[in-house]
Structure 1
């Protein structure tokens, strides 16, 4: 398991560079790393549909570290992986596209299983982008609205569609219209953050996982584990 670490004195945000979109957070490096194995097992079950049977912990190889000025304790991130700077081939893009769409579709399935989209058990809390989304409806809207922002960072302008799956399809169609799609050009985006197509695809999945996990735990707290769909194989 290859890990990319963002850190500061408030905590650690650790990404997987070979299980695209998987991540963990912790107040310390060891706390975050101790969650990594569980996250990867859940990710493998989600991405393959197969139960992960290996009971031994996998080796973690730290391939990149970045000290950050961001609120990484709230999953604010700007790192560009070294592995995200290389050109894509069409087969790799197609595999990543399938995962990006699976993530959106599973997010919607989880959302649709929640009886009341405006009920919450979460207390208000401010983060770097304002008040956290607390209801299923707020989480869905927030997760969907970053689509236009992410692809704008690689030079594409679209208006968000209200349905997360349709919005993701529309975004990917716009991406595929780029004449230099597979070159994976590095763009200097807003807030001095660098972006590539690889990074955008990873961020779609990563951002979905953050808010799907919060949505699932909130919904199970209210309606119970048997009523709420769990396509991401999250554990409580």
Structure 2
């Protein structure tokens, strides 16, 4: 039996807890109560390992330790987040960047794979509702457009200007290419974006994966209820 150390960064308020796995970019849990969110990490980390191809044993124990915590005035229960990890302010090594970049592109590829497997892109079983960013996407088509649509926003928060294109993988590729055009991009400077939020390249990369996984999970669960898991692709191992 092995031990998987899971350093956790927490955002919380009286509406809930949003927790991130610092060493597994994009892995996260949510819960109304602290213990509820913490209890979901063993399954989330092992799912993430399957997705990335990291070797682990089912008997491995996930040891979660909170290393950073922030009380937030955002809509945490709606996955509204502005935290920057302390570790996301450190410079990047080339090898480290290439590894995270690979995951960012894999996530975009897998999002497309999941989306393409859904027979009716305009289907929904969800009610219309609004959140902090407006109307919540409720069809696979809307989820795809929303997830792809944040690409230029995330890039823009670190000073990289692009115009979105329709396909998520190609859009992600052009964003990363534009980021890499800066000679000092690996310095991972911390910048203030919109609304005073702090951003860095590390944070942008993590947010790409995290945001993909949030909407992929919702899209997958809805589609499986309608068409069954034999027809719907599950590249994220939900």
Instruction: Report the TM-score, using the length of structure 2 for normalisation.
Output: 0.96
- Aligned partner of 1:9 in structure 2 is 14
Q: Is 1:101 matched up with 2:93?
A: no
Equivalent of 1:182 in 176, 183, 186: 186
Q: Aligned ranges for residues 1-236 of structure 1 at < 5 Å?
A: 1-48=6-53, 52-234=56-238
Runs of 4+ in 1 over 2 A off after TM superposition: 52-57
Deviations 1:13-54 (A, max 9, x none): 00010000000100000000011111111111001176x433
**Structure 1 CA distance for aligned equivalents of residues 209 and 83 of structure 2:** 15
* Residues 9 and 233 of structure 1: CA distance in aligned 2, closer, same or farther (over 3 Å): same
Point out where structure 2 has 5 or more consecutive residues left out of the alignment: 1-5
Point out where structure 1 has 5 or more consecutive residues left out of the alignment: none
Cα distance, 1:56 vs structure 2: 4.5
Q: Tell whether the 8 Å contact from 2:41 to 2:62 is kept in structure 1 after alignment.
A: no
Cα distance, 1:95 vs structure 2: 0.3
Secondary structure of the residue aligned to 1:13 is strand
Secondary structure of the residue aligned to 2:91 is coil
Instruction: Report the TM-score, using the length of structure 1 for normalisation.
Output: 0.97
**Structure 2 CA distance for aligned equivalents of residues 49 and 60 of structure 1:** 18
